Amino acid sequence: MKSAAEQLSTYKSVHLNHRNIQTHFIGIPLIIWSAFLLLATVRIPLGSLGETSLALIVGVLVSAYYVRLHLRLSMGLILFMVPVLLTTEWAAHIAGATWLALGVFVVGWVFQLIGHKYEKAKPAFVDDLNQLLIGPFFLMAEVYFMLGLEKALNAQITPMAIEKRRALEAKKI
């Protein structure tokens, strides 16, 4: 498994424009919420224990992945995931939940694509599907950096990201 710094630098290499990052702070949470709403509509019976949702199972698995990548960043992500899971579990039971999820999903991707117009670079997941999981991880890292936390990680990934971006641009020529 690639390190947190390697994953973040790959993601950041196509997220250097501040307007792109700003759109991602809207788009990624919308996409996450809508995806978990769709997953919450899939109920899994647990016999005498009742039932759970696919959203809860995926949430636990993704959180475990983030813990393995970087413990401190994963704590922020888990704090973000709790209200996502609670609200999507509730919303999964309302009429039209699937349509709501699809609408929010589309709006989230519109923000993402607008951001990449500013960036003039394709989304990171185009070359590596794992980068879909790194988007939320990247945003949490950005929050930590804004708060003055994880300075060493920021100092490590930014030069790596710039070098990766240069390599990407050199391929275009």
Task: Quick: pLDDT tens for 95-141.
Answer: 999 999 999 999 999 999 999 898 877 777 777 677 789 999 999 99
144-148 long-range Cβ contacts below 8 angstroms, 24+ apart = 144/72, 144/73, 144/76
Can you give the pLDDT at residue 128? Answer: 65
For 159, counting Cβ atoms within 10 Å of its Cβ (0-12 exposed, 13-18 middle, 19+ buried), the class is exposed
Structure tokens at 104: 């929010």
3-state SS assignment for residue 47:
helix
pLDDT band at 59 (very low <50, low <70, confident <90, very high): very high
Can you tell me whether residue 53 is helix, strand or coil?
A: strand
pLDDT of residue 155: 95
3-state secondary structure of 51: strand
Average pLDDT value over all residues in the chain: 93
Please classify residue 61 by burial: count the beta carbons closer than 10 Å to its beta carbon, then call 0-12 exposed, 13-18 middle and 19+ buried: exposed
**Residue partners of 114: CB distance under 8 A and separation at least 6:** 23
Residue 29 in this model has a pLDDT that exceeds 90 = yes
- In angstroms and rounded to an integer, the radius of gyration of the C-alpha atoms of the chain is 17
Structure tokens at 35: 């995806």
153, two tokens: 């990680």
- The pLDDT value given to residue 123: 76
